Amino acid sequence: MAGGLPHPLVIFRELNIALGADPAAAAGSALDPMIYPVPTHVWFTWLAMAILLIAGLMVRRKLTLVPGGLQNFFELVVGGLEDFVVANIGEKGRQFMPILVTIFLFVLTMNYLGLVPGCDAPTANINTNAAMAIFVFLYYNYVGIKTWKAGYIKHFLGPMPALAPLMLVLEIISHLARPLSLTLRLFGNIRGEEIVLVLLFVLAPLYSTLPMYFLFILAKSIQALIFFMLTMIYLKGAVEHAH
């Protein structure tokens, strides 16, 4: 919950020590039990993966025709996102549904982990976000090349042949800016929220943090939605005709 500020994340420190980290070795160095052998944000990423896997297995074990409980919730989320994707990309969008919903649920779970006392949002660390953003960048370019073969270059050349070299440079810059802005947006928002929570907790422990929790639940959902939506828009740009 503390967004990288000094805080007691006891469990994973002990786990790292059990895995062979030596707390007697210089604290604060690269051998700090907080980040060695497995950094904290990686532990929490694995925790998010475990939560999603267990939830998925629980839903799959008792699928019913009339959804109830957890199945109802997941059908609402996946159904809502599917409508959204199909409204934006069209029927072609259905093939990307698994990856898009995975991204949304994964980011959402990791964001919410930051609100659990004693836990830390993995997305408050820039490495997690960069990994996801680079994956999205590679994936939509892969989809574009698979769909258009060599014709994918037309997406970079713009409408007028005379301006093509200029547009190529501009498009390459704006395409490379996409993973950067994806990374920084998620990182900045989540990290900022965690720091605000800690500061408010210092000022007035319960009365100020409790209302902020509701605001941040909304903000974190919107951040997950933005990551999902931008991935969808990039995929749409890769699949569509160059104009």
Identify which of residues 17 and 169 has a Cβ nearer to another protein in the complex. 169
Closest distance between another protein and the C-beta of residue 1, in Å? 23
Site residues for another protein per CB under 8 A: 73, 76-77, 80, 84, 169-171, 173-174, 176-178, 180-181, 184-185, 221-222, 225-226, 229-230
Closest distance between another protein and the C-beta of residue 44, in Å? 22
Separation in Å, CA 135 to CA 123, 128, 230: 15, 11, 13
Cα–Cα distance, 100 to 233 (Å, whole number): 11
Identify which of residues 95 and 174 has a Cβ nearer to another protein in the complex. 174
Closest distance between another protein and the C-beta of residue 178, in Å? 8
Identify which of residues 204 and 222 has a Cβ nearer to another protein in the complex. 222
108: which residues sit within 8 A by CB, 6+ positions away? Answer: 220, 221, 224
Give me 204's structure tokens: 């007035």
Closest distance between another protein and the C-beta of residue 97, in Å? 15
Asked if residues 137 and 179 have their Cβ atoms less than 8 Å apart, the reply is: yes
Identify which of residues 92 and 185 has a Cβ nearer to another protein in the complex. 185
Identify which of residues 54 and 169 has a Cβ nearer to another protein in the complex. 169
Alpha helices in the chain (DSSP H): 10-18, 40-61, 70-89, 97-113, 126-148, 164-203, 209-239
* Closest CA relative to residue 128, chosen from 115, 114, 116: 114
Closest distance between another protein and the C-beta of residue 30, in Å? 27
